Structure 1
Amino acid sequence: MAFLPSSLLKIILVLFLFTSFSYLPENSASAEEDIEAKIEKAIKDYLEDYQVPGASVAIVHNNKLFFSKSWGVTGEIKEEVTEQTPFTIGSISKSLTGMAIMKLADNGTIRLDAGIQEYLPWLKLNNGKASEITVERLLAQTSGFSTYDGLALSDKELTGSKAIKHQAKKLAKVELTAAPGEKHQYSNANFLILGAMIEELTGMSYAEYMEQQIFKPLGMKYAAADKEGAYEKGYLRGYQSWFGFPVKSSVAYDNAGAPYGYITSSSADMIQFVKLLSGKGPDHFISDKTLDLFKTPQVQTGEDRYYGLGIRISNPDTPKEMIWHSGSTPDSHAEVFYIPGTSWGGVILTNKNHILEEDGLY
């Protein structure tokens, strides 16, 4: 799993330039058509230059769909991509896992300041620091688990309903590389533990909980969080890059990776999550207070960049504020974003990946 924000953020900046003109006259249909044409050209140029087989992009403004288009094909049988086509969304899965935890906090099932052993008594660390790792520190990625620790357990192509717990138990032998709460270290390990916690607290599999408490209430009809559900809802593998050329992916779905990187979702689904980020989600899904906490910066990760409780925030409390997350798997890239100052948001899904090609997205 990629652990740095993908360069698809640069396409977001292109979209931002074209869609930040919220002062356009209401009847300026020709101006809107011009914006749509420029957006489409920017995306098509990238897809052609880097031979990306399939993509789906959707943009909303003031909670209304402004732009939605899909290109190309996906999967070994080369099905046409539509707005309903599920892609693996990579680390955007962390944002959905984070939202699942926030819902449990909202209804009193979990406390963010509780140590992880309160909910996972079987997870004991060699150095005895488990009691200092709180739920909140897992969400903000300040637990002390390193990036490497997470990557070492990632992309193992595991199946079965016990895959998440099986992998989480392996963390008992890991030595923390920082004291809990000391610093931000982006790690899949944090969200693997949170996935196990969801299962422990609800008595449901992670996939079942996400389906019943996140996907269905938000209207994410094509989203899934395990291999069986993903393929039932139309997911097909993407493509890996071989000297720039797309080749059918050899990487299988990893059930243990769902909480941090293997949720599948369509652009139509992800627009529902964007609406939630904008505060326009379904009534009674989550309280405004808890949603605001989810999006509140917890730790600085770069210049004008912060991490919340499973979401990224750039330029907080300014007109340029953006709430977002990126995601990569061996055969996909994804971005989701919302810009509060202009009420624009969107999602970009693509089905080919190679780290050496990401600069092309600039």
Structure 2
Amino acid sequence: MSRLFRCVVLAALLLFGVSGCTAGAGDAVVSGETSAERAVIDEFRTVAEDLGTVGAFLLVRTSDGAYSSAYGENEDGTGVEPTGDTVFRIGSNTKTFTGTVLLQLVDEGLIALDDPVSDYWDDVPHGDAITIEMLLNMRSGLYSYTESEEWAEASLEDTGRVWEPEELLRIAFEHEPHSEPGESYYYSNTNTVLLGAIAERLTGRSLEDLFAERLFEPLGLASTRLPVADDVSLAEPYAHGYVILEGEERVDSTFFNPSWGWAAGAAVSTAEELADWAEALTSSGLLSEGLQERRLDSVLPISEDAAQEGWGYGLGIAEVAGLLGHTGQLPGYNSFMGSDPTTGVTVVIWANFAPTADGRDPANAIADAVVPLIRQED
């Protein structure tokens, strides 16, 4: 397997879980003031430097206030440091938008969690036995199209290719399911793309518009959006993304078309707005009280090891390092968002060299190091 194939496929899978060019640290932007905050920031910078990422950003909110730190650059060689308003591609954090819209449709009586997916979409393997809830909590067993050689080869051949959701679903449905419906946790991007397609069919609205009208505009998330399939633009200021290609060469992946991620991973945002979103996601206002409670209670460990490390998955929401939110990865970008509605702790981390030269997911690695320190502050 070529280095190019390995790198892009690993990054593109948007896998949920914990998982040689080096950028200098530069002068970090530091807003922490207490010794505990400085300890978090020092650890953030140490891990970011070890990972060799081009740039990274950490935002922490607690009941006592907020602080942040920047490492490296938005774009290699420019000296422009990341900020809380830097726009970046958020990958699978997009799944929380899709899940929330679907749950709003449940609240509105347009669909039910125990409905079989065959009521809404034809030709789904085991569609009579797979429920909407199983799509949301990653327990449908449907094959993930991002594991397909057909998809990987086509994506590598043309990084600007515009993918339609129906193409992605066709690839997935041509493969045998990974497991029986409801049998076990299996992270599949097919689940969320199918949910996005169902939401469009139920409402007669594009998913881009559904996100904007139901989520972004009411919450004032002006820099957060789901671009249409052929739009690879990013609003200024934005972070460039970087991946390793053959021969250990680091290349700019900023404008690789992310339409293959769509409902599962194509949105863009900023650290400040992802923090706002993580807090809205874990509090009241987006869903009915009963459904929100069910959503938060739905999170189950994805494995025995993950349970010990605070990683789980529920109804379009994850437990990440003991916080509720999600993670995301696209070629060149890795991000982490999590919030604890009980303590008021919210953490957002992003990095723009993903996966790293040694195959790590940088934001997740940073989160594993700093979140325990942050939670000690409470």
Does TM-score exceed 0.5, indicating one fold?
Answer: yes
Counterpart of 1:17? none
Give the whole-Å Cα distance in 2 for the aligned partners of 1:60 and 1:100: 26
Q: Tell me the SS of whatever aligns to 2:348.
A: strand
Q: Note if 1:135 corresponds to 2:132.
A: yes
What are the within-5 Å matches in structure 2 for residues 19-168 of structure 1? Answer: 33-62=34-63, 65-75=65-75, 80-120=81-121, 123-125=122-124, 129-147=126-144, 149-152=145-148, 153=151, 156=155, 157=159, 163-168=164-169
Amino acid at match of 2:123: K
Q: Tell me the SS of whatever aligns to 1:293.
A: helix
Alignment: residue pair count: 325
Q: Note if 1:306 corresponds to 2:303.
A: no
Q: Tell me the SS of whatever aligns to 1:269.
A: helix
Q: Tell me the SS of whatever aligns to 1:327.
A: strand
Q: Is the 8 A contact 2:143 2:172 kept in 1?
A: no
Counterpart of 1:248? 252
Q: Is the 8 A contact 2:332 2:352 kept in 1?
A: yes
Task: Say which is worse superposed, 223-232 or 200-209, in terms of deviation.
Answer: 223-232
Shift of 1:214: 1.5
Identity of aligned residues (%): 24
C-alpha distance 212-165 of structure 1, shift in aligned 2 (>3 A): farther
Give the whole-Å Cα distance in 1 for the aligned partners of 2:250 and 2:34: 32
Amino acid at match of 1:193: L
Q: Is the 8 A contact 1:98 1:309 kept in 2?
A: yes
Q: Note if 1:3 corresponds to 2:19.
A: no
Amino acid at match of 1:151: E
Counterpart of 1:335? 336
Amino acid at match of 1:68: S
Q: Note if 1:260 corresponds to 2:259.
A: no
Give the whole-Å Cα distance in 2 for the aligned partners of 1:222 and 1:92: 15
Shift of 1:341: 4.8
Q: Is the 8 A contact 2:60 2:348 kept in 1?
A: yes
TM-score (norm. length: structure 2):
0.75
Shift of 1:76: 7.8
Shift of 1:143: 0.9
Amino acid at match of 1:137: M
Give the whole-Å Cα distance in 1 for the aligned partners of 2:127 and 2:185: 17
What are the within-5 Å matches in structure 2 for residues 271-290 of structure 1? Answer: 271-279=275-283, 284-290=285-291
Q: Tell me the SS of whatever aligns to 2:172.
A: helix
Task: Say which is worse superposed, 351-360 or 186-195, in terms of deviation.
Answer: 351-360
Amino acid at match of 2:147: L
C-alpha distance 359-259 of structure 1, shift in aligned 2 (>3 A): closer
Give the whole-Å Cα distance in 2 for the aligned partners of 1:56 and 1:40: 10
Amino acid at match of 1:275: E
Q: Tell me the SS of whatever aligns to 2:35.
A: helix
Q: Tell me the SS of whatever aligns to 1:256.
A: coil
Q: Is the 8 A contact 1:223 1:230 kept in 2?
A: no
Give the whole-Å Cα distance in 2 for the aligned partners of 1:254 and 1:193: 17
Q: Is the 8 A contact 2:320 2:327 kept in 1?
A: no
Give the whole-Å Cα distance in 2 for the aligned partners of 1:44 and 1:131: 50
Give the whole-Å Cα distance in 2 for the aligned partners of 1:199 and 1:158: 24
C-alpha distance 250-68 of structure 1, shift in aligned 2 (>3 A): closer
Q: Is the 8 A contact 1:224 1:230 kept in 2?
A: no
> Structure 2 stretches of 5 or more lacking a match?
1-12, 20-31, 370-378
> Structure 1 stretches of 5 or more lacking a match?
8-30, 316-320
Amino acid at match of 1:212: E
Q: Is the 8 A contact 1:52 1:246 kept in 2?
A: no
Give the whole-Å Cα distance in 1 for the aligned partners of 2:286 and 2:254: 38
Amino acid at match of 2:266: Y
Amino acid at match of 1:124: D
Give the whole-Å Cα distance in 2 for the aligned partners of 1:344 and 1:100: 25
TM-score (norm. length: structure 1):
0.78
Q: Is the 8 A contact 1:76 1:236 kept in 2?
A: no
Q: Note if 1:185 corresponds to 2:186.
A: yes
Amino acid at match of 1:138: L
Give the whole-Å Cα distance in 2 for the aligned partners of 1:77 and 1:204: 42
Q: Tell me the SS of whatever aligns to 1:184.
A: coil
What are the within-5 Å matches in structure 2 for residues 169-184 of structure 1? Answer: 169-184=170-185
Q: Is the 8 A contact 1:249 1:331 kept in 2?
A: yes
Q: Tell me the SS of whatever aligns to 1:222.
A: coil
Amino acid at match of 2:233: Y
C-alpha distance 314-189 of structure 1, shift in aligned 2 (>3 A): same
Shift of 1:359: 7.9
Shift of 1:351: 0.9
